[in-house]
Structure 1
């Protein structure tokens, strides 16, 4: 097996796997957080699109750009594009989930001072 025989390839493979897993978890978690904060599916979808659109657009030209330019500039462009799109999102407003009424059990526990 190539990974077991070469430490450098194993480190590269492991770091790439961790980076991609973290990025995917961040994209999903942020979209869910926006939905639970605002209760708006449009805001949640906009967050998801703002995070994935730069990667999709840059993937169309990535082969050509990487062959002709230094690899640093396309990476900076993709990250800057994601930052700009995220900045264009409307600010989050509390939605109906943030104002959920307390149940009788929750109110009774709060009055009794029970945390739990």
Structure 2
């Protein structure tokens, strides 16, 4: 049955998380690489992950929402939202290829 909690996409599986630098690793880079693209299926919001801490699930990157800004966001909170709603409100673009943020932003 579609929409069951067990059918939901894992936003940061271990193999994907292993490709993302730790928090603060790219803070001196002028144009860090977006490693993961997350997007909302119900709005125009997009999150480009440039850094990630697998121990806490905290990520950092470019957030395109009401305005574009750099910031921290919680992958476990996104997954909790998906589970609470019963469908993937936030999804990972499985076809996204890492690229400098300047090349992927709107």
TM-score of the pair, normalised by structure 2: 0.30
> Considering only CA atoms, is the larger Rg found in Structure 1 or Structure 2?
1
Q: Report the TM-score when normalising by structure 1.
A: 0.28
* Greater strand share, structure number: 2
The structure where helix makes up a greater share of residues is 1
More RCO (CA 8 Å, sep 6+): 2
